[in-house]
Structure 1
C-alpha cells in the first residue's frame, strides 16, 4: 500500500572517481575535519586553501575538488588505503608538509579535539612519518595557533 503512495526511486549512484594523490589528500583532510563530527566553515575554507595552494588551483576548482573529496571520503576506503596512495606518489618531505596542512585543518575551528588528534595520529602513522616528525608537526601547529 505505501509503495503506491511513496514509490522508491531506484538510485543510480554515480561511480566514484578512482583515488589519486589529489583525491586521497583531500579525502584525508575532510576526514580530519569530520573527526569531531562538527564540519565547520573555517575547516572547509582551510581545506580549499590547502588544495588550491598544493595543486595550483583556482578557488572554484579547489572547492569542486573538495566536494569530490567529501563524496569519496564518505564512500571510499579507509585511511590506510588513502595513505598508501600518498606514500606511493609523494616524497617523504612532502608527506611531512601534508601533516602540517592536516593540523591546520584540525585547528581551523580554533579548538583542539581529541577525536581529531587521534585521526591525525592514525593518518600520520599511515603516511609512514617518524615519531619525531609527527611530534614536530603537532608542535608546529600548536605554536602557530
Structure 2
C-alpha cells in the first residue's frame, strides 16, 4: 500500500521540467491534499466537510471525477503514514502567487466551517499551513473573516 501511495504522489506531485500546465496540475493536487488533510484535523470526518472538499476541488481545480475519487482514496491512506505537510506546501510555495495562497486559505476555511464550527485543531492546522506557505498573518485573518462573514 505504501508503495502505491508513494508512486501516486511521485507521479502526481513531483515537479519536473514538464510543461507549465502539467506543473500547475501537480501543484493543484498538492492543494487538494491539504484540503483533505484538514477534514481529518478534528477527528470527526463529516459528510458535509467531504462535500465541501469535493465542491472546492471541482470548482477551483477542475478535477475530473476519477481524479477526485483517486486522490481522496489515496489521501485517506496517506493520512495514516504522513509525518509532514512539507511535501505539499513546498509545491504551493514554488508555484502559487500570494493571491492563489489567499484563495487556498479561504478554501481551507470553507472546509473548516462546513460542519458549523471551527475546532481548535482545524484552526491550528490552517495556521500551520499558512505559516508553511509563507502567507502573512493578516491573510490568515482576512481569509477566515471572509469565509465566516459570508
TM-score for both structures, normalised by structure 1: 0.81
Return the alpha-carbon distance in structure 2 between the equivalents of residues 12 and 90 of structure 1: 28
1:53 aligns with 2:43: no
Partner of 2:39: 33
Partner of 2:20: none
Return the alpha-carbon distance in structure 1 between the equivalents of residues 61 and 2 of structure 2: 31
Return the alpha-carbon distance in structure 1 between the equivalents of residues 67 and 94 of structure 2: 25
CA contact (8 A) 1:33 1:39 kept: yes
Query: 4+ runs of 1 displaced by more than 2 Å?
Result: 11-16, 57-77
- Greater shift, 118-127 or 55-64, is seen at 55-64
What pairs with 1:65-76 in structure 2 (closer than 5 Å)? 65-76=71-82
1:136 aligns with 2:142: yes
User: SS in structure 2 opposite 1:14?
Assistant: helix
Give the direction of change, closer, same or farther, for the CA distance of 1:14–1:62 in structure 2 (3 Å limit).
closer
CA shift, 1:87, in A, is: 0.9
TM-score for both structures, normalised by structure 2: 0.78
Structure of larger gyration radius: 1
Return the alpha-carbon distance in structure 2 between the equivalents of residues 91 and 21 of structure 1: 12
Structure 1: gaps of 5 or more residues: 1-10
**How many residue pairs align between the two structures?**
134
CA shift, 1:79, in A, is: 1.6
Partner of 1:92: 98
CA RMSD of aligned residues (A): 2.0
